[in-house]
Amino acid sequence: MFPGLFIRLNMILPGPGRLYVRLGISSLLVSLLLDYGCLALLDTQLEVVTRYQWIRQKQSTVTWDRVIWNSWCISKHSFISWLIAREALQLKDKLFLLGIIADDTCFLCGSAAENHTHLFSQCCYTRQLFKLLSLKLNVCLPVTNLLVWMQTKPWAKIKKRVTIVWIQALYYAIWNQRNKARLEGVVQRP
């Protein structure tokens, strides 16, 4: 009974647990299972789906997915907007914390630390672009909490989609301009 259990646990337990499972010592196995909080794994008849869900640790659902992923938007704009919503872009604040760079000031304005909040809502460059886009669309765009605003704004479907396309294009332009400033050292004014 135990050799089959050890092989199955060896396939699903991450990290240092594999070493203990290969040793095959039952007391270490029980303590390891208690540490991982998975005494239910002692049942050898678990399905693959159950194991996958245990490893995956299902995350909470998001409410902004329909705003970002829609058929009207260009894929690269949607992808950058998705990374912005998840705060997953590699900006200077993360690189500074890792010790990779020594200066964390914004490439576009040079006045504050570059992070998601600053680059996409507080930077003077971004604010100028949002002001220009607001005039173009004849809509008062909030610079902060834009995803919440897009979800709750009651307006015509076509106008909402066009606004989303423009905002995603604006985010992409900001990210593209930031990268040009990083690589070439030149910032084009809006």
Provide the residue ranges of all domains of the chain, joining segments of one domain with +.
2-56, 65-184
Spatial contact of 68 and 81, defined as CB atoms under 8 Å apart: yes
Give residue 168's pLDDT: 93
DSSP 8-state symbol, 121: I
pTM value is 0.67
Q: Is 105 helix (H, G, I), strand (E, B) or coil?
A: strand
Confidence of residue 120 (pLDDT cuts 50, 70, 90): very high
pLDDT tens track for 15-33: 444 434 444 444 444 454 5
**Alpha-helical regions (H) of the chain:** 2-12, 17-23, 26-36, 48-56, 65-68, 75-85, 92-97, 116-117, 124-137, 146-152, 157-184
pLDDT tens track for 136-153: 888 888 777 777 777 777
